[in-house]
A and B are shown apart, each in its own frame.
Chain A
Amino acid sequence: MNSMDVKDLRRKVENIGALPTIPGVLKHISSIIEKPDISLNEISDFISSDPALTTKILKMINSAVYGFPGRISSVSHATVLLGLNVIKGLLIGVSVFELMQQAMQGLWEHSFDCAITSKLIAQRKKLKEPEEVYAAGLLHDIGKVILILEFPEEYEKSIHDANQQCISIFESEKNRFVENHANVGSWLAEKWRFPNNLIETIKYHHAPHRSKYAPMETAIVHLSDILVRARGFGFAGDSFVPAIEPAAFELLDLTENDIKEILREMDDSLEIIEELSL
């Protein structure tokens, strides 16, 4: 890994279409959503043309946790309700489902639970676009998927190091890779032309004070990651709860009662989620 510098790695990740380990569907979706002038209609037509994708997207949106009153039965209705960026995020989210499952047992659960928790906190903080924060939670660790697929042995060793040395995967990645999963994930988010706040949430979810455009959203995903691990849900490369950044915790300004209720809502939502196997 030391033979590779950051630029090489970035070039490789951005050229996702040429990565042999990435399945065709994801390459295709990637090529669609990176188009600079993609319209809501185009993306809606694209999803509708694929019955499996349509089912997955509608299932996710209609899951009780997503919280729209009544059923959403058409993709065009969904795209209008959610907007381009959220739909793009969900599209990537459902398409990496299988990939995540095979890349790391438990990573999908971790990501999905973070998405739900992020949305719960965003609603509690009365943010305008809780669905966008949901998408951020869903994709925050996407950099791990790419690192695992491209460098399976090195990543395996990182996981091993983390558990041997009782450190977080974020720490142990540093010893084997020139970049961490948060930065790698943000390169993809940029390539896919996600909005700045989504890029930043992914990039800084382990260092939320560095976020300029979306400090609140980033703090939310940061806390969600911690709560999901604390609760013992999923697996994201190590078995330890990382420390919360004090500034982020203060920015969120949650009372003990808020956190208590968030934990309860998490359990309530996740019980239903077990039924939602994509």
Chain B
Amino acid sequence: MPRITVDKLEPGMKLARPVMRGSMVLLGEGTELNDNWIQKIKSMEIESVYIDGPSQMSVPKDEMMAQLEDRFKNVADEPYMDVIKKLVRKHIEDLYE
């Protein structure tokens, strides 16, 4: 789910996560945005919101993973680097979900 800045919001987009102020939910998850809601969000001090839809990853996953392997090639056997690599790999894989 992509996170986009409020100036790029358009009517019809659906919130993938609620818009919160502190612990208060202002707009629930799944709300379909209309001009009115968009104006409201813009008037609040909110930079960006999550909306439904596939994330836009500019590099294909295989290529991304190959680059990751390459970056770590000098340090694969160093202490703790296996943990760091595993976590970064998992993190990047999740971005493609």
Contact = CB atoms under 8 A, between A and B. Distances in A.
B90 A260 contact: yes
Interface string B47-73: 110000000000000001001101111
A64 interface: yes
B78 A243 contact: yes
The 6 closest A-B pairs by CB, nearest first: A243-B78, A263-B91, A64-B47, A243-B75, A246-B79, A230-B88
Q: How large is the interface on A (under 10, 10 to 19, 20 to 34, 35 or more residues)?
A: 20 to 34
B72 A230 contact: yes
A271 B48 CA distance: 9
Interface of B: 3, 5, 45, 47-48, 64, 67-68, 70-75, 78-81, 83-85, 87-88, 90-92, 95
Nearest to B72: A241
Contact of A267 (B5, B70, B74, B95): B95
A231 B85 CA distance: 9
A64 B64 CA distance: 28
Nearest to B77: A243
A260 to B, nearest CB: 6
Given A230-B84, A275-B5, 15 more contacts: A166-B73, A168-B74, A226-B84, A231-B88, A240-B71, A241-B74, A243-B81, A244-B79, A244-B80, A244-B81, A249-B80, A267-B91, A268-B3, A272-B3, A275-B47
A98 interface: no
Contacts of B71: 229-230, 232, 239-241
B87 A263 contact: yes
A244 B74 CA distance: 12
Interface of A: 64, 70-71, 166-168, 226-227, 229-232, 239-244, 246, 249, 256, 259-260, 263-264, 267-268, 271-272, 275
Contacts of A166: 73-74
Contacts of A267: 91, 95
Nearest to B95: A267
Contact of B87 (A167, A242, A243, A260): A260
Nearest to A71: B45
